[in-house]
Amino acid sequence: MKKEITTTTAPAIEAGAKFTFGGIDWIALEVAPDYVLSLAADVIEQRAFDTKEKNDFASSSLRAYLNGEFLKRLVKAGAPEAAFIPLNIDLTSDDGLKDYGTDTAKIGLISCEQYRRFRSIIPNASDWWWTCTPYSTERNGYARIVRYVSTDGTLLSNYAYHGSSGVRPLCCLKSEILVSAYDEEAKKRSDALDMMKHLAAAFDVKPEEVFSEGRE
């Protein structure tokens, strides 16, 4: 069930709740007074992790897409770019190597460590989807394999150039801007509702007949 944000100081939303922002449905993974760590509620599309077959998210084609074309799409759909707090993305490999260090981006992917931490509130997706975690690193002989989450929620691995893999973005949103966006959306819905009531009155139609139309 999606929840609306009504407070002006911190979002009235709990971890595990769904909400819509920038035309995308999100799940709140972690809620704090100044931010909401959010994961796409489902896979949004299929893309290769990296078209050059590398498993380092920091230099991947998927990172470039998420922070370029995809971010622009969110902004066009009404999400202020200022709402996105840069993520600190840990690229430690699944076997514990830290060769790739960390990355910073406005839109990222969840790590295996984060996935395990929030697993209890992350619903299974309609398709399998990438994490940002490499299976191992180039130094250890694994430059192309990335960890992913299957449709049943288990963690597996695949080659980075696999183009039919799901994308489930991760972002960190400023609570203040998120609240403002929801207040504006609520006002638009209220104005539309008032207009429908006026039209119903003008045509001598009971409001409940208008709003119940199409419901079974």
Mean pLDDT of the chain: 87
Residue 74 CA to residue 213 CA, distance in Å, equals 32
Q: What is the pLDDT of residues 59-68, one digit of tens each?
A: 999 999 999 9
Residues 6 or more apart in contact with residue 1 via CB below 8 angstroms: 17, 18
Listed in sequence order, the residues at least 6 apart from 49 whose beta carbon sits closer than 8 Å to its beta carbon are 55, 57, 60, 61, 62, 130, 146, 160, 161, 162, 165
Nearest-CA neighbor of 150 among 134, 130, 136, 133? 130
Rounded to the nearest angstrom, the gap between the alpha carbon of residue 196 and the centroid of all alpha carbons in its chain is: 33
Judge contact between 63 and 51, C-beta under 8 A: no
CA dihedral (124, 23, 195, 210) positive or negative: negative
- Among 20-24, 76-80, 94-98, 180-184, which is the least confidently predicted range? 180-184
User: Which one, of 175, 185, 37, lies nearest residue 118 by Cα?
Assistant: 37
Q: Cα-atom radius of gyration of the chain, to the nearest Å?
A: 20
CA quadruple 116, 150, 44, 144: dihedral sign: positive
Closest CA to 46 of 160, 168, 170: 168
Residues 105-136: tens digit of each pLDDT: 999 999 999 999 999 999 999 999 999 999 99
Q: What is the pLDDT of residue 13?
A: 80
What's the predicted TM-score (pTM) here? 0.81
Residue 3 — very low, low, confident or very high, per pLDDT cuts 50/70/90?
Answer: very low
Ranges 12-21, 132-141, 167-176: which has the least confidence:
12-21
Quote the percentage of the chain above a pLDDT of 90. Answer: 72
Domain ranges within the chain, ordered by starting residue = 18-175
Give 66's DSSP letter: I
Residue 179 pLDDT > 70: no
pLDDT value at residue 202: 61
